[in-house]
Amino acid sequence: MAFLDVRKKIMGRVWTWTMALMLCLMAASVRSEDPYIYYTWKVTYGTIAPMGVPQQGILINGQFPGPEINSTSNNNVVINVFNNLDEPLLFTWHGVQHRKNSWQDGTLGVQCPIAPGTNYTYHFQVKDQIGTYFYYPTTGLQRAIGGFGGLRIFSRLLIPVPYADPADEYWVLIGDWFGKSHTALKQKLDSGRSIGRPVGVHINGKNGGLEPLYTMEPGKTYKYRICNVGLKDSLNFRIQGHPLKLVETEGSHVVQNNYDSLDVHVGQCYTVLVTADQEPKDYFMVASTRFTKKVLTATRVIRYSNGVGPASGGLPPAPQGWAWSINQFRSFRWNLTASAARPNPQGSYHYGQINITRTIKLVNTVSRANGKLRYGLNGVSHVDTQTPLKLAEYYGVADKVFKYNLISDSPDTAFPDLTVAPNVINATFRDFIEVIFENPGKVIQSYNLDGYSFFALAVEPGKWTPEKRKNYNLLDAISRHTIQVFPNSWAAIMLTFDNAGMWNLRSEMAENRYLGQQLYVSVLSPNRSLRDEYNLPETQLLCGIVKDMPKPPPYSS
Ligand SMILES: *[C@@H]1O[C@H](CO)[C@@H](O)[C@H](O)[C@H]1NC(C)=O
Ligand SMILES: *[C@@H]1O[C@H](CO)[C@@H](O)[C@H](O)[C@H]1NC(C)=O
Ligand SMILES: *[C@@H]1O[C@H](CO)[C@@H](O)[C@H](O)[C@H]1NC(C)=O
Ligand SMILES: *[C@@H]1O[C@H](CO)[C@@H](O)[C@H](O)[C@H]1NC(C)=O
Ligand SMILES: *[C@@H]1O[C@H](CO)[C@@H](O)[C@H](O)[C@H]1NC(C)=O
Ligand SMILES: *[C@@H]1O[C@H](CO)[C@@H](O)[C@H](O)[C@H]1NC(C)=O
């Protein structure tokens, strides 16, 4: 089909969606307020044994992994968090866009941490980003010992998703595991050393055993929600004898291909359908490290309800090499005909036709100056500040806390030294921006941008040049919030900066992020308008230099 025919077809459908959307808006406007869902979380230490050896873990309401959050688009989610740990705590709702509301994003650049022995109530609204997400603690290295859990955003009944209802839904949270306390890992990083290699991999906080993790009835189809909640390693996920039909990733409904396995990079989530159509017995579910000299593997077992035997045969093999993974990335396409809600605001569907107003190239660097390990972006290694950046900006005292734009949009790729400072850039509200991630190193990278979902246009080996734009997928790239960058490779994304706030762009790898490979993007509403951004919540914790300052005048409507 010619390109233009495709366009016309898409435009026709866009019109249909617009109609559907208007109907929904009309329906919504008669409701007095969107529904609320409430959670109370008690966060404590407790004993866990993901590798079979008891160790200290972080539990939420006694659970590891933490309790799931079930939400439906437009729900107001209210979570009262009691911090019973002995150190400050913040959670981020990884991938939730928080429109107009970076106040609740849970990073140290926007929120004061919850002090030990106190509580704080998060309040945010989830929008039409139907899909699979997870939450985790952003403070210190707490994530290394738990505090993470799944977060689903279901579709409202009005908006169908492009597949039949599954018989049931199962979480699969996979991650590497270091087997050390979060304080020991943090001490290593604080002293300028690496956390080294993990000791194993877990699936839902456990590895091995023959007790079934999940049971499927023969002939039925199940939804598995898979997220890599680990610190460092890309993982390959597969289920013996069962193809994974990919239906959604990070809020985009995709062209539904079958995969023997999926490479899930740190911080990424995939939703797949699995049909129980094999001989009735047990099967292995496998997660194993990719691109590592020594491969670490976790297995769990899934059962058929009428099953008559244990899992047998060898584990299904993992793919080899980088090329396979790059090709898999390229195979992810947005299903342009799926009728589910768009994760992006109206207008972005024709992203390929919007003129780029700015190109930001971000190059990751590593430094071992004075024997101390630091990571950076474009020569700056971020440090968190006592006063959250967003609060300093809101109170008009940004100049006392940080400087904007220490880094250049088009850096030289050689950074002999790293400047250690808060790394904040600003973007003009509603600009359409291209971001290039260049990875000159030997280790794969995985980046996340809070507050947005972006079009993942290309991931390629070599160096980026403007001519490479001809390789971009400008038609049906998927819209997501994390992207991997292979060694000596680059990745390109595009997005409209239409969500006012202070947003964290970070390496999802815990070590890199903790040692500075992150920055914040300040997107200001031009006239402090309530239309663009919510006011500082009444209940927001205050700390640093703004603690006792008079509140600035609120945004106007
Ligand atoms: C969340 O939704 C799933 C799927 O409908 C359901 O099985 C599960 O029990 C729900 N969990 C909670 C805590 O409500
Ligand atoms: C702490 O929890 C109590 C309920 O136990 C609640 O009334 C209060 O608003 C919470 N405080 C914060 C700051 O969220
Ligand atoms: C895209 O979604 C439509 C609508 O639900 C569905 O019928 C179709 O099979 C999907 N196409 C692909 C290639 O996955
Ligand atoms: C994009 O830029 C081109 C060339 O500068 C211009 O002709 C076109 O009108 C612009 N398109 C939009 C949508 O602004
Ligand atoms: C970004 O910051 C620079 C330097 O402080 C300033 O001159 C510029 O106006 C800012 N731009 C926006 C869009 O806020
Ligand atoms: C405030 O901002 C909005 C949206 O950016 C714009 O439409 C409006 O004209 C602005 N108002 C003033 C008084 O500048």
Q: Is the CB of 339 under 6 A from ligand 2?
A: no
First to last CA, the chain: 48
Task: Look at the alpha carbons of 316, 321, 325, 328 in this order and tell me if their dihedral is positive or negative.
Answer: negative
Report the amino acid identity of residue 377. Answer: L
Q: Is the CB of 119 under 6 A from ligand 2?
A: yes
Cα distance between residue 237 and residue 92, in whole Å: 24
Q: Which residues line ligand 5 (CB under 6 A)?
A: 404-405, 426, 428, 524
Structure tokens at 502: 């202070």
Diameter over CA atoms, the chain: 70
Q: Is the CB of 70 under 6 A from ligand 1?
A: yes
Closest Cα to atom 2 of ligand 2: 119
Q: Is the CB of 405 under 6 A from ligand 6?
A: no
- Supply the pLDDT for residue 125: 96
pLDDT tens over the chain, length 557 residues: 333 333 334 433 443 444 444 444 444 333 458 999 999 999 999 999 999 999 999 999 999 999 999 999 999 999 999 999 999 999 999 999 999 999 999 999 999 999 999 999 999 999 989 999 999 999 999 999 999 999 999 998 877 889 999 999 999 999 999 999 999 999 999 999 999 999 999 999 999 999 999 999 999 999 999 999 999 999 999 999 999 999 999 999 999 999 999 999 999 999 999 999 999 999 999 999 999 999 999 999 999 999 999 999 999 999 999 999 999 999 999 988 876 556 554 445 688 888 999 999 999 999 998 999 999 999 999 999 999 999 999 999 999 999 999 999 999 767 778 999 999 999 999 999 999 999 999 999 999 999 999 999 999 999 999 999 999 999 999 999 999 999 999 999 999 999 999 999 999 999 999 999 999 999 998 888 999 999 999 999 999 999 999 999 988 87
398 within a domain of the structure (yes/no): yes
User: Which atom of ligand 5 is the closest one to the Cα of 404?
Assistant: 5
Expressed in angstroms and rounded, the spacing between residue 78 Cα and the centre of ligand 6 is 31
Q: Cis (ω within 30 of 0) for the bond into 65?
A: yes
- 62: left (phi > 0), else alpha (psi -120 to 50), else beta? left
Q: Is the CB of 37 under 6 A from ligand 1?
A: no
19 within a domain of the structure (yes/no): no
Q: What is the CATH number of the domain that holds 382?
A: 2.60.40.420
Radius of gyration of the chain from its Cα atoms, rounded to whole angstroms: 23
Q: Within a 10 A sphere around the Cβ of 106, how many other Cβ atoms?
A: 28
Residue 501, strand partner residues: 523
394 within a domain of the structure (yes/no): yes
Q: Which of 296, 292, 235 is nearest to 446 (CA)?
A: 235
Count how many domains the chain has: 1
464 within a domain of the structure (yes/no): yes
Q: Which of 358, 426, 430 best tests ligand 5's pocket when mutated (most atoms within 8 Å of CB)?
A: 426
Residue 480, strand partner residues: 454
Q: Is the CB of 68 under 6 A from ligand 1?
A: yes
121 within a domain of the structure (yes/no): no
For residue 244, what is the enclosing H or E element? strand 244-249
For residue 456, what is the enclosing H or E element? strand 454-461
Q: Is the CB of 430 under 6 A from ligand 6?
A: no
453 within a domain of the structure (yes/no): yes
Q: Is the CB of 526 under 6 A from ligand 6?
A: yes
Structure tokens at 537: 């919540």
User: Which atom of ligand 3 is the closest one to the Cα of 254?
Assistant: 14
- Supply the pLDDT for residue 413: 67
pLDDT tens digit sequence for 501-547: 999 999 999 999 999 999 999 999 888 899 999 999 999 999 999 99
The pTM score is: 0.92
E strands, 471-542, where? 479-480, 482-485, 489-496, 501-507, 518-523
Cα distance between residue 251 and residue 255, in whole Å: 13
Structure tokens at 456: 């993942």
Cα distance between residue 41 and residue 30, in whole Å: 33
Q: Which of helix, strand or coil describes residue 36? A: strand
Determine the structural domain holding residue 460 and report its residue range: 346-546
Expressed in angstroms and rounded, the spacing between residue 501 Cα and the centre of ligand 6 is 17
Residues 481-515: b if buried by 16+ CB within 10 A, e if exposed: bbbbbbeebbbbbbbbbbbbbbbbbbbbbbbbbbb
| Alpha helices, DSSP H, located in 133-284 | 182-190
User: Which atom of ligand 2 is the closest one to the Cα of 80?
Assistant: 14
Q: Is the CB of 529 under 6 A from ligand 6?
A: yes
Cα distance between residue 332 and residue 341, in whole Å: 18
Closest Cα to atom 10 of ligand 5: 426
Q: DSSP labels for 269-281?
A: EEEEEEE--S-SS
Cα distance between residue 232 and residue 511, in whole Å: 8
Expressed in angstroms and rounded, the spacing between residue 522 Cα and the centre of ligand 5 is 10
Expressed in angstroms and rounded, the spacing between residue 70 Cα and the centre of ligand 5 is 39
Q: Which of helix, strand or coil describes residue 185? A: helix
- β-strand pairing of 297-304 with 212-216: parallel
Cα distance between residue 311 and residue 9, in whole Å: 47
98 within a domain of the structure (yes/no): no
Q: DSSP labels for 111-158?
A: SPPBPTT-EEEEEEE--S--EEEEEEE-STTGGGGB--EEEEEEPPTT
382 within a domain of the structure (yes/no): yes
Q: Is the CB of 410 under 6 A from ligand 6?
A: no
Expressed in angstroms and rounded, the spacing between residue 523 Cα and the centre of ligand 5 is 10
Q: Which of 422, 391, 420 is nearest to 405 (CA)?
A: 422
- Supply the pLDDT for residue 26: 40
Report the amino acid identity of residue 163. Answer: Y
- β-strand pairing of 244-249 with 297-304: unpaired
The answer to whether residues 258 and 221 touch, using CB atoms and an 8 Å cutoff, is no
